[in-house]
Chains A and B, each alone.
Chain A
Amino acid sequence: MDKKIKIKDKTCYKNLGLCGFGDGSNSSQVDVLNGKIVRIRPLKFDEKYSPEELNPWKIKARGKVFEPTMKSLIPPHSVAQKKRAYSPNRIKYPLKRVDWDPEGERNPQNRGKSKYVRISWDEATDLIAKEIKRVHQEYGPGTILVQGDGHGSTKAIHGPHGCQTYLLNLLGGYTIQARNADSWEGWYWGAKHVWGRDPVGQGIQANLWKDVAENTEVILYWGCDQETTPWGWSGQQASRLSYFFTELGIESIYICPDLNYGAAVHADKWIPVLPNTDAALQLAIAYVWLTEDLYDKEYIATHTVGFDKFADYVLGKKDGIPKTPKWAAEKCGVPSRTIKALARRWAAKATTIAHGNGGSMVRASYAHEPGRLEVYLLGMQGLGKPGRNQLKMIEWQIFGMNENNPAPRSKLIPNTSGCYNGWAFQMPNQFIPKTLIPDAILSDEPIKFYGTTLCAWPTEDQFVEYTFPQDGVPIHMIWSDAPCWTTCWNGGNKFIEALRSPKIECVVVQHPWLENDCLFADIILPVTTKFEELDFADDNFSGNFNQVLIEEQCIEPLYEAKSDYECVCEVAKKLGLYEEFTKGRTIEDMVKDGWKHSGIAEMVSYEELKEKGYFVIPTADDWEDDPSGFFPFYQDPEANPLGTPSGKLEYYSERLAEFFPDDEEREPTAKWMPYGETHQESLLHPRSEKYPFLIVSNHPRWRVHANLDDISWLREIQTCKVKGPDGYLYEPVWINPVDAEKLGIAHGDIVKVYNDRGWVLGGAYVTQRIIPGTIYQDHGARLDPIVPGESDRGGVNNLICPHNTTSKNCAGEVTSGFLVGVEKVDVTELAKKYPEAFKRKFDPGAGHIFENWVVGGEEE
């Protein structure tokens, strides 16, 4: 046999994480042969740098060692990512909705129903430029809403989110969709008020791997799935870390309604809890500690304020109801004996709580209550003592901060600010919290809200009342590069109603794939994947070493696609602003600027970086000296105060009492809050007679939010999709065998998940991985509307989650732990009833195809 066949022409380096902003993860080697991507492999740190240059860290504890790997630990999302470039759902050329006529009838009511016609780049950019000018003249500059944030490929020069803001700034302004504290809801709106932790309300992470390895005896993975949520963000170091903790003899206890993917392989004990009833469980644990004298009274005396008010509530002195294990068992489904055993175990052993974002604990109604209660409990056992902290399995070094890094400290956290063309958090005059976009559009009156000005804003912002429109001018046009309102936000059907409002005269979307909110656009521009672009990147989240990459272009742009940045350049040309917009810089110039400002310019020359393609930043020499987590606060709370007004843990928040004296949903001290004025998403509420199940909707295992739902290789994995009798791949709905039997549902049946906000389909996956009374369906499946604004075939359950926010004064989203009904359906009958939707063609592997939505597309 011929021993040497050609296996590649070149290798390019790309970070393939899906954070979607400038900072990346999951660095990979992309091999290209004959102009085509042939394979994606882990990056090898030691291929171009010696181990001495990398200064690899070593965590030594209990006779064992944990070290970085010399390859990146990429997830399947990265390995399979070339399929996104070659997806049958790629947008091939600019499109215009067939019945949108800017000179005549705009037919907003047909958004989501009508097809598209092909237009040229010249026509498309003419139309967009003309609409911008017209809207600015008629209504003023603040009336264009930019949806320019969200998750997706991580890019710097090419955006990916918010490039259009720079152009609109040159024209006088815009309204920004202000990023929500999504996946941090409970911490942001709750825990911040207890421990004053900005930016997002989670605990100090510094050097916690070392602390846990040396001191922790029990880890409570509370709603944490480190085998899912970190994948798109940071790869699989969290998995290795969990195996290491188990090897050390640390007991892993999982508290969650579903046997999530972490629990499935790492749990020593699974304690199933009904969705969004964690507060009852937490209160009963406090009750056991208070009544059995199992908490750190000295710490409470020196490190906290307001503890008595909490203790009184727990013991029933305030409301006459002691929060006993029996009281809690009826609410949360955990047997009272298990609650007692858990409470005693926690008190006896150095315990750390691990989180991975997502799940019902931090993303359900009133999430601020379990968020605050967790910190109360950590405080009762001496938060910051060795082995007792809150550990994050995701977002290491986020916001470029060492205090967000539980791994051994790197010599440097690089950044891409020198060439980042995405929106960089400069607030324009007008903004709308992401969760309130439909209200801002649909309401005829100004809307009011308390500050979620931006997700990482200081706690004080939550006490400021804002009004939209700030300038008095409502929204008339939308320009989006992150079309996922329907799939990822609070009450997607409400977003559809807003997108179809006659108040919105023009919707422009730029995106690589014809999916989700694209179907509601009037003009669509085709965008490249990062394989088709030259860019500059870093990798900060992966937990081995930080890296900087020059991302060479792997392949030529497919079809007529251009990058997000280039799309805006094309519009800028039509507005005569190209020079001003680009400042005369070429992409190559920007790559060099990226290097210059990344922090590594002193460590490696541009020429060497270019030649090698990537640079690996060594570990800091003195990382072992860094204090772990809250240890300094534990040691000396006066010298190392928290960010609260008192500098201590606040079991009673004077500020909440002062600013929101009448807020019964978020009182100064956290409490059990199953339902209230804003939400009735509880099995204890009469609404559950009609909708008797709670749905858990984590972040998806096989996607990152709404990204990657077209990868055939993932879709044929048994937990990714369920094949219907019609050959369509439905989004799985986990149902316990007890419930399945009651409902007459068999594994593989197609079911309808419904409530008063609409219905979506799914494929029944009958399993012991979910407790009775609860179902599970990931969020972020691709939209496939049956009746837009009402029903969906793809299984987009965000369409039917509550539109109301976390609570009255907290503009967070509620996307898990809400009430639904479930019933079996006959897809043949549905196909007869809704022929339009069910006759759309699909690829047997990848699903949706571009041609479905293009006039004449079927014939091409």
Chain B
Amino acid sequence: MKVFVVDVARCNGCYNCQIACKDEHVDNDWAPYAKPQPDIGHFWLGIKETEHGQIPKVKIEYKPILCMHCAEAPCLKAANDNAVYRREDGLVLIDPVKAVGQKQLVEACPYGKIYWNEELQLPQKCTGCAHLLDQGLQPRCVEVCPTNVLRFGEEEEFKDLISQAEVLNPELGLNPRVYYLNLPKLFIGGEVYDSVADECLQGVTVTLTDAAGKTLTTQTDHFGDFWFRRLEPGVYSLKIEMDGCKPYELNSINLDKSLNVGAIALR
């Protein structure tokens, strides 16, 4: 069975994948695999861009999202007349003839990756570039990726990576065939300094405690900076301690977005 493996740690946000999808499918008719995609508005593969943090601790997260080619694909069930089918290699395709008028397919996808083509009255989505695969080529998004974020191949071949990977919205129980590595999640960061000496404080111990009482500890670096990365949303408390100083505490941090707690002066 074919799978996509997406390592977002190396995604530089160039959008090549999103553009190549359009280059392949807009104004090109690959029936019976797919009819042409409209010029704008469809993102069979789309980059989701998220801004994390506050100045000067800001990062941009880019996440390519495409049809998950789910093992339990809800679109398959929602389709009439077998308008959605699964190929032997596991890819889920929409039949562009049978699916005409079946707008319910757009609603059926919880990932929002089926788009409505108004002109053709047709639901459309990623085909895994099946028309190219069948000629021994790669999906376009994979081929144009400069940093090897997107990979495509046999599930078996990626076994090791998949064991460390996550899927999007696992709670839906759809067994997606697109696996993600290194999703950045959220961060808490800050800076510690000595306001009297006007110096960054290096080597200060910073402790983060989550609601279950689990702690993470780090030390500030040469800029006095500290970071806790890849955090799940939740309630946290933060403690900064240095010998001879009054500890600094920040409790009940309700983390739903990445947070820079700012520059903290120890006294």
Contact = CB atoms under 8 A, between A and B. Distances in A.
Interface residues of A, number: 62
B80 to A, nearest CB: 19
Interface stretch (B108-116, B141-149, B175-183, B231-239): B141-149
A341 B224 contact: yes
**Which of B14, B16, B22, B53 has the most CB atoms of chain A within a 10 A radius of its CB?**
B14
Interface in A319-357: 326, 335-338, 340-342, 344-345
A335 B24 CA distance: 50
6 contacts: A259-B58, A265-B12, A265-B60, A269-B223, A712-B39, A768-B54
B132 interface: yes
B146 A73 contact: yes
B32 A1 contact: yes
A42 interface: yes
Interface in B19-48: 19-20, 22-24, 26, 28, 30-33, 39-41, 47
Task: Categorize the interface residue count of chain B.
Answer: 35 or more
Give the 5 A-B residue pairs with the shortest CB-CB distance, closest first: A264-B60, A236-B146, A845-B40, A73-B146, A341-B200
Contacts of B23: 39-40, 79-80, 82, 713
Interface in B71-127: none
B222 A76 contact: no
A243 B147 contact: yes
A38 B12 contact: no
A344 B193 CA distance: 16
Given A76-B16, A844-B40, A845-B40, A341 B223 contact: yes
B199 A227 contact: no
A227 B24 CA distance: 24
B58 A5 contact: no
A337 B193 contact: yes
B32 A335 contact: no
B190 to A, nearest CB: 13
A612 B20 CA distance: 25
B32 A79 contact: no
Interface stretch (A501-509, A618-626, A715-723): A715-723
A797 B11 CA distance: 30
B131 A239 contact: no
Given A39-B24, A337-B224, A768 B58 contact: yes
A440 B60 CA distance: 46
Contacts of B56: 270-272
Given A42-B143, A341-B223, A771-B55, 19 more contacts: A1-B32, A4-B134, A38-B28, A41-B143, A42-B144, A71-B143, A79-B16, A80-B23, A82-B23, A236-B14, A236-B146, A265-B13, A270-B58, A271-B56, A336-B198, A337-B200, A342-B223, A719-B49, A769-B60
B140 interface: yes
Given A235-B146, A265-B13, A269-B223, A736 B39 contact: no
A515 to B, nearest CB: 19
A7 B132 contact: yes
B143 A261 contact: no
A69 B47 CA distance: 24
A326 B59 CA distance: 28
A76 B263 CA distance: 38
Given A40-B23, A79-B23, A235-B146, A340 B41 contact: no
A713 B147 contact: no
A264 to B, nearest CB: 4
Given A5-B33, A259-B58, A768-B58, A718 B49 contact: yes
Contact of A74 (B57, B144, B198): B144
B139 to A, nearest CB: 12
A803 to B, nearest CB: 33
A56 B19 CA distance: 29
B263 A335 contact: yes
A272 B55 contact: yes
A231 B14 CA distance: 9
Contacts of A76: 14-16, 19
Interface of A: 1-5, 7, 33, 38-42, 69, 71, 73-76, 79-80, 82, 227, 231, 235-237, 239-240, 243, 259, 261, 264-265, 267, 269-272, 326, 335-338, 340-342, 344-345, 712-714, 716-719, 736, 767-769, 771, 844-845
A716 B41 contact: yes
B222 A75 contact: no
A712 B134 contact: no
Nearest to A325: B198
A228 to B, nearest CB: 10
A544 B30 CA distance: 33
Interface of B: 10-16, 18-20, 22-24, 26, 28, 30-33, 39-41, 47, 49, 51, 53-60, 62, 131-132, 134-135, 140, 143-144, 146-147, 193-194, 198-200, 222-225, 263
A227 B14 contact: yes
A227 B12 contact: yes
Contacts of A269: 223, 225
B51 A768 contact: yes
Nearest to A772: B55
A716 B40 CA distance: 7
Contacts of A41: 140, 143-144
Contacts of A714: 15, 19
Nearest to B191: A338
Nearest to B29: A5
A242 to B, nearest CB: 8
A321 B198 CA distance: 20
Nearest to B32: A1
A1 B94 CA distance: 13
B204 to A, nearest CB: 14
Contacts of A271: 56
Contacts of B58: 259, 264, 270, 768-769
Nearest to B95: A1
**Which of A69, A76, A239, A736 has the most CB atoms of chain B within a 10 A radius of its CB?**
A76
A267 B223 CA distance: 14
Nearest to B26: A713
Contact of A239 (B31, B54, B146, B223): B146
Contacts of B55: 272, 736, 768, 771
A5 B30 contact: yes
B11 A265 contact: yes
A836 to B, nearest CB: 27
B199 A340 contact: yes
A71 B16 CA distance: 14
**Which of A7, A33, A337, A769 has the most CB atoms of chain B within a 10 A radius of its CB?**
A337
Contacts of B39: 712-713, 845
A345 B144 CA distance: 38
Contacts of A240: 146-147
Contacts of B59: 264-265, 267
Contacts of B41: 716
Nearest to A71: B143
A292 to B, nearest CB: 12
B196 to A, nearest CB: 11
Nearest to A37: B23
Contact of A243 (B10, B19, B40): B10
A41 to B, nearest CB: 6
Contacts of A768: 51, 53-55, 58
A485 B9 CA distance: 40
Contacts of B30: 5, 7
Contacts of B47: 717
Nearest to B260: A768
Nearest to B20: A79
Contacts of B198: 326, 336-337, 340
A3 B199 CA distance: 68
Given A227-B13, A712-B40, A771-B55, A341 B49 contact: no
Contact of A2 (B10, B20, B32, B263): B32
A769 B31 CA distance: 43
Contact of A39 (B31, B134, B140): B140
A338 B225 CA distance: 10
A388 B255 CA distance: 41
